[in-house]
Amino acid sequence: MASENHISQYSPRQRELFIQKSTRVAASYLRRAESLEDPPEALRPFFDVLGRIFVDLEDVPKPVGMKTVGTYCVMVPSELIWAAGAMPVRLCSGSYTAYTIGDDLVPRDACPLVKSVMGWEIGASPLYENCALMVIPVTCDCKKKLAGMLEQWKPTVTLHVPSSKERDADMAEYVRELYRLIPMLEEVTGRQVTSQSLAEALNQKGYAQYEMSRFLAYRQNNPPLLHGTQVMAVMNTFAYMPPLEWAECMRRLNDELEQRLERKQFAAKSNRPRILVTGSPIMYPNLKIPLLIEEMGGMLAADETCMGERALYDPLTVTDRSFDGMMRALAGRYTRPCTCPTFTDNRQRIFRIKQMIKDHQIQGVIYHVLRGCLVYDYEYPVLEEELEKEGIPIIRVESDYNEEDVEQLRIRIEAFIELLKLKQFSEQKARGTA
Amino acid sequence: MKKIKYGTAAVWIICALLTLAAFFAKDFVLYDFQMMPSNYAYTRSEAKPAQASSALWFALGADRELQYGYDDGIDPAAVLLYGKTEEEVQPLTSADMSPIREDLIGYFAAALPARQENGRTVHDFARADIGPHTYELAPREFNIPEIPFEVAYAERKYIQVFYQNQLLTDAEVTVTDGNGSEAVYRTDNHGWISGLPIETLRSGFTASYSPDDQNVYRMYYLVEDYEYFTVHFFKAHIPLLIILALTALGIVIVYFLREWYCRKDPAYAVYGRERPSFGGGNPLRERTNSKFLLIRWLFLIFGFFFWTYAGKLIHQGQALNQIAVPVFSCPFNLDQTLESSCYYLTHLPILFTRNWGYILCFLGTLFLSLIFLGRMLCGFMCPLGLLQDLMDQLRKVLHIRPIQVTDRMNKAIQPLKWLWIILFLGFVFVGGDFCDICPNKVFSTALGGWWASYALTGFLTVFLLVGSFFIKRFWCLMCPMGYLLGIFYKFNLFKLKKDCAACTECGACYEACPMRLKNIYTERDKANVQTVDCLMCGECIHKCPENNALRLTFCGKDIYKSSRKAFISKYAPKTSAGKERQTHGK
């Protein structure tokens, strides 16, 4: 009912324009990502899913009759939603068109992600419209207020994420939050979360993460087998596919990458500077920064963002097979290793990035800050200081959800890549003479 | 918050009650083996045992009937027979012995008037201790003028020698063992003979002593022995069965109390749906094969057999029983192959009555274990550790959720640990006996077939078993011996190391750690994360998903390290393909 009111605010003409514009932008970014040289054949199903949702504006590929539950952060345990018999979808949006609509609904200094999410209330996407429930972890002020606004539109649940992780009581709090979520999910689906259904969901996610861990080994290869932008798109699709299907597609991709490795068919030469992107979330279709890096001759070798590796990297560790044991494991897995800056002490993110630099042979770091994303901005100086000690160059780039800042970003990223190349060259020279 | 305060208060109350109870430990009798002398017939033995160098002897027949025997030419009417009741020593006639009178507690002695033999005066006696070792142990010695020379079982594997109703100190006593061979032992200044082989004790022996050239005193001494898988052996398990029944009751009570408590909580109301079940039902793929953990289980099982049965099964094994290793296995079971150090650690004054060689050997092996192995012994050797791990496995099989030990709860348990340490080392100095309150006395003795009675120790065993059902390695959290084992952790050859950069702080090690050691996952500077409480059980490494983030080293060499591949391979698509076909089929 509430949603009807919201839709009626916008005229059919306005919606038509919105649909035209948003699908055009989505299609163009998808094309740019696809057309990076020599994409593996197995990437097709992933791009198809993104195209289906954001270009054709269809619902997610889900089993018939299954309800969807929208989630807003990596801290919502997707396993729990699957166990209740619903399909989780990520609703964090990267749409520039929706951003322009949301700009009028949300204060000026709010982050573009929230604005973009609010823009979808225009009622154009079944992804949002078909959601039976929205789950929003309170991870920053914008998300907190977003939860309040979404309540007018859809039934919502907020999850209170502890602000620190040191005490066991914090963890126990989050376990309780997850327990509170269960009856609400059950109400939506009419099915019960049982030990069996939860265990089944954990196994499926486990299989996806098994394929993911295989994939990571190929991703660390130098020269690269795959473009980082494509990897980010692939990671995005996990939020819109059932885990087994995703894992199966991933298995095919892994098999193809294995063959490519044997044939020495690389996506780029090894002399491209290997770059890590970290910071604010990068949602499809807002792929401008990854694309700029790779179009300017850099190699996006790894990412430490919540829509990328972070969502799938950490496996679930169940130490006790009881229902409570699994719930505790879920609460632990979605908070403790999470490097989200919502936590007061987030020193572990620096260690994580350092380890990724080692694993992926990173030469430079691009710190992405969405305008208004304060929590990520707070952590930049600390990381800069730490990486300076390691001798890894880092730049901070701020972006918004529009294409007006692309040229400015292009210049900065190009200069950074040139700097990395120069450094690489002088290092090679020094090694040659020594 | 409130709950935790109650928890701390509860621990202090438990401490106070335990201290109080420790002093009256003997009065809380859980199980007392009663002598049923009528079970023992009394017959004449025909064959003279090889070890009987005296003219009188006792023996046990095939049906465990007490037999007596005497040399040819002895007038049986001249033999004086004595038996002990709980109060006093009574002269007996053959009427009292067939069947054996019910108030006799199983200690019998026979004396033959002095005779002339080969120009010397020979005094022959015989003794038999049959039946159980009751809890309130009556003194074994008879101490009557008619029996001036006497040997009696002091405790465990030591015997006392009396001469003219005084302890015989610093004298040479000849012992004839089961093969008929003789050996000379010297009593120490407490009248104890140590170093007597356990086979000799078991088979019965004759001790003879000559105070001068004219007199020879000989006593044949029989302590009841038993065989495995006999009625006698299985009867020894009765107290353990009672304890297990009480444990089951305790588990049911704790389970329902918790359910009742949780049902008031709306967030946890969902628990009501989860019922314990036998096997099956939960398809979660959580187990990964780990050679290291398999080896650990094998070591634990081996340790259990080693400390419970090996001494009897391998007779040569007894040669090692001067060596004391600090694991928790009750030394009242004399079949230990190596000795458990706990007896002398809890009875320090008794240790210093032993000869210096023994003390040095004891302390030497103790400190070598402390310094080089440390709590590795807890994780790999301790029979009590195996028992707790088995209780934990039982809980997992039943799908009952554990009680989670939080850091606050762990802190609250500390006073209990210190209390145990104080009682462990110091209780003997205020006239107590730690063995009366040791919760581990039951398993080793009962399973080994030793008839021992249990006082407070039996109740504490129930406490331990219920605790370890809900909390993995519950006893290890407060084990005094374990703490002593840990104090030299800096010198241990085994070390737990961490790669702080590789760690993602996912807390899996913390969740898996039976000792709830938080530093393993919070440590960010040091590579060595071993602490005084670490059992080196390898659970954290087993559950760690990061490559080489945690490793166990021996002399600097890695023996077990965490690996992503090993961790995640449980989800490998062997059966996933099958599941996938199922979902596609829908």
DSSP B298-328: HHHHHHHHHHHTHHHH-GGGGGGTT-EE---
Closest CA of chain B from A265, distance in Å: 25
**Taking a contact as any Cβ pair under 8 Å apart, which residues of chain B between 397 and 426 contact chain A?**
399-402, 404, 406-408
Greatest Cα pair distance in chain A? 74
Q: Which domains does chain B have, with CATH numbers?
A: 2-27+289-485 (no CATH), 37-225 (no CATH), 494-570 (3.30.70.20)
- Collect the ranges in chain B with pLDDT lower than 70: 1-4, 34-40, 132-138, 155-156, 266-281, 315-321, 574-586
Q: Position B73: which residue type?
A: G
Amino acid (1-letter code) at residue A283: M
**B575 shares contact with chain A (CB less than 8 Å):** no
Inter-chain residue contact B500 with A351, CB threshold 8 Å: yes
By C-alpha distance, the chain B residue nearest A334 is: B506
> Mutating which of A254, A255, A336 best tests the B interface, going by the most B Cβ atoms within 10 A?
A336
Contact yes or no for A348 and B571 at CB 8 A: no
Say yes or no for a CB contact (<8 Å) between B543 and A183: no
Q: Which of A103-112, A244-253, B53-62, B359-368 has the lowest mean pLDDT?
A: B53-62
| H helical segments located in B398-487 | 407-426, 441-447, 456-470, 480-486
In chain A, which residues have their Cβ closer than 8 Å to the Cβ of B508?
317, 319, 332
The CA distance from B477 to the nearest CA of chain A, in Å, is: 18
Partners of A157 in the β-ladder: A135
Point out the least confidently predicted range of A37-41, A44-48, B273-277, B472-476. Answer: B273-277
Residues of B in contact with A199 (CB under 8 A): 282-284
Report CB contact under 8 Å: B402, A322: yes
Of A166, A313, A347, which has the smallest distance from its Cβ to B524's Cβ? A347
Q: Which two tokens stand for residue A85?
A: 């018999």
The rounded distance, in Å, linking the Cα atoms of A387 and A367 is: 12
CA pair distance A233, A241, nearest whole angstrom = 13
Mean pLDDT of chain A: 90
Substitution target in B270, B544, B570 with the highest count of A β-carbons within 10 Å is B270
Minimal Cα distance from A214: which residue of B? Answer: B565
Burial class of residue B143 (count of CB atoms within 10 Å of its CB; 0-12, 13-18, 19+): middle
Q: Which of A239, A345, A248 is nearest to A282 (CA)?
A: A239
Q: Which residue of A has its CA nearest to B505?
A: A337
Closest listed residue to residue A33, CA positions, set A292, A255, A242: A292
B512: contact with A, CB 8 A cutoff? yes
Asked if residue B553 lies in contact with residue B494, where contact means CB atoms within 8 angstroms, the answer is yes
Is the CB of residue B440 less than 8 Å from the CB of residue B330?
A: yes
Decide if A284 contacts A54 (C-beta within 8 A).
yes
**Cα B127 to Cα B136: distance, rounded to the nearest angstrom:** 20
A71: enclosing H helix or E strand: strand A67-71
Question: Who among A204, A317, A320 is closest to B545 (CB)?
Answer: A317
Q: Is A154 helix (H, G, I), strand (E, B) or coil?
A: coil
Report the alpha-carbon distance of residue A250 to residue B247 in Å, rounded: 50
For residues A294 and A296, what is the distance between their CA atoms, to the nearest angstrom?
Answer: 5
At B581 the pLDDT is 38
DSSP sequence for B350-373:
HHTTS-HHHHHHHHHHHHHIIIII
What pLDDT, on a 0 to 100 scale, did the predictor assign at position B275? 59
Count of domains in chain A? 1
The predicted pLDDT at position B67 comes to: 85
pLDDT for B386: 95
- Measured in angstroms, the CA of B549 and the nearest CA of chain A are apart by 11
Give the count of Cβ contacts less than 8 A between chain A and B.
141
Contact call for residues B498 and B520 (beta carbons, < 8 A): yes
Which of B270, B284, B399 is nearest residue A182 as measured by Cβ atoms? B270
A192 interaction partners in chain B (CB closer than 8 Å): 273
The C-alpha R_g of chain A, in whole angstroms, comes to: 21
Residue B328: strand pairing partners: none
Please state, for a pLDDT cut of 70, what percent of chain A lies above it: 98
Q: What is the pLDDT averaged over residues A15-25?
A: 92
Determine, for residues A318 and B583 on separate chains, whether the beta-carbon distance falls below 8 Å.
no
Cα B230-B231-B232 angle, rounded to 5 deg: 90
Residue pointed to by tokens 């074994």: B140
DSSP 8-class letter at B35: P
Of residues A212, A214, A156, the one with CA closest to residue A3: A156
What is the distance between the terminal CA atoms of chain B, rounded to a whole angstrom? Answer: 49
Whole-angstrom CA distances from A307 to A87, A250, B102 are 18, 17, 83
How distant is the Cα of A95 from the closest Cα of chain B, in angstroms? Answer: 32
Q: Does B189 touch chain A (CB under 8 A)?
A: no
Handedness of CA B261, B264, B270, B275 (dihedral sign): positive
User: B500 and B527 in contact (C-beta within 8 Å)?
Assistant: yes
Structure tokens at A366: 């691009």
List the structure tokens of A169. 């009581």
- Residue in chain A closest to B541 (alpha carbons) equals A317
> In this structure, is the dihedral angle defined by the CA atoms of residues B312, B317, B322 and B323, taken in order, positive or negative?
negative
Strands B205-209 and B494-498: unpaired
Q: How far off is chain A from B286, nearest CA to CA, in Å?
A: 6
Cα→Cα distances B343→B329, B332, B339, B372, B481, Å = 10, 9, 9, 21, 11
**Lowest-pLDDT choice from A39-48, A373-382, B122-131:** B122-131
Q: Are strands B339-340 and B324-325 parallel, antiparallel or unpaired?
A: parallel
- Of all residues in chain B, the one with the smallest CA distance to A174 is B267
DSSP code per residue over A105-130: TS-TTS-HHHHHHHHGGGT--HHHHT
Full residue range of the structural domain in which residue A257 is found: 2-433
Query: What pLDDT shows up at residue A308?
Result: 80
Report yes or no: B585 at the A interface, CB cutoff 8 Å: no
Can you tell me the distance from the alpha carbon of B330 to that of B442, in angstroms, rounded to the nearest whole number? 8
Q: At a CB cut-off of 8 Å and minimum separation 6, what does B558 contact?
A: B551, B552
**What residues in A contact B565, CB-CB < 8 Å?**
213
According to the model, what pLDDT value does residue B579 have?
44
Maximum Cα interatomic distance, chain B, rounded to a whole number of Å: 104
Nearest CB among B506, B568, B579 relative to A332 is that of B506
pLDDT in tens, A306-357: 888 888 899 999 988 888 888 999 999 999 999 999 999 888 999 999 999 9
Could you tell me if residue A109 is left (phi over 0), alpha (psi between -120 and 50 degrees) or otherwise beta? alpha
ipTM above 0.85, yes or no: yes
The one-letter code for the residue type at B558 is D
DSSP B478: G
Q: Do A248 and B580 touch (CB under 8 A)?
A: yes
Nearest to A180 among B267, B401, B580 (CB): B267
- Residue among A172, A203, A210 whose CB faces B284 most closely: A203
Report the Cα–Cα distance between both ends of chain A, in Å, rounded: 74
